[in-house]
Amino acid sequence: MNFKSLATGIMLVAGGFILGAIYSNWSYDYYLLWVSPTPEDMLVKSLEHYRIKATQPKFLHHVLHAVFLLGGLSATVKLFQPTESNTLFDGGSLFLFFICVVFYITNLVPSSYSLISGDWVDLDAETGVKYIGASQILMVLTIFGVLALQFGQWWAANEEERLLKLQRQKELEEAENIEKEDETETKTKTEAVSSNVSSSKAHKRR
């Protein structure tokens, strides 16, 4: 396994971890974003849920930060000695990871402070917690984009390898056919020479 394959694995694991972390909020986000009007009891539960997450020990937040860092670094590592293919796929993956981090820093982090203090500035609590859910949906889309690009890169590499294999096989078959034709031609010439020699000997005997 080369370092690029390892980097791909790390990127997929990081993406899966982020999706899992966001999915754990889905039972609350569903009522916030897709049920109108939002049930009052679910709004209260959602606010409490996100408030608990905002006040959890800092090292738990740093685990997610480390996963973001690993995902971005793995995409960067894959751009070492770039080809046309991985510039497109891995460059796109790095860009999407960056966008995901931007959503996290600009939307979720300030919202966490608002959850703790209760001060949403120009928003009410319901709009603020819905803003958190919507931001996470955008993060999910960016991670799905990363996974799609990595799958596309894998498919393109396999397809290229398959076509090269077919081309090599075709060249090998052509080389074998040429070799057989040469052998047949040589054999024909040898038989012709032998026939001429035999004819000459027979003529001399007469």
Residue 84 counted as domain residue: yes
Give the pLDDT of residue 163.
85
Residue 175 counted as domain residue: no
Give the pLDDT of residue 201.
56
Which residue in 149, 49, 52 sits closest to 99, CA to CA? 149
Q: Distance of CA 181 to CAs 167, 172, 175, 190, Å?
A: 21, 14, 10, 14
Residue 168 counted as domain residue: no
pTM, two decimals, is: 0.79
Residue 186 counted as domain residue: no
Give the pLDDT of residue 162.
85
Q: Contact, 28 vs 45, CB < 8 A?
A: yes
Q: Which long-range contacts (CB under 8 A, 24 or more apart) does 188-191 make?
A: none
**Domains of the chain: total:** 1
Residue 188 counted as domain residue: no
In which domain, by residue range, is 26 found?
A: 3-161
Low-confidence spans in the chain with pLDDT less than 70: 1, 182, 185, 187-206
Residue 42 counted as domain residue: yes
Residue 93 counted as domain residue: yes
pLDDT digits (tens, 9 = 90+) for 43-84: 999 999 999 999 999 999 999 999 999 999 999 998 887 777
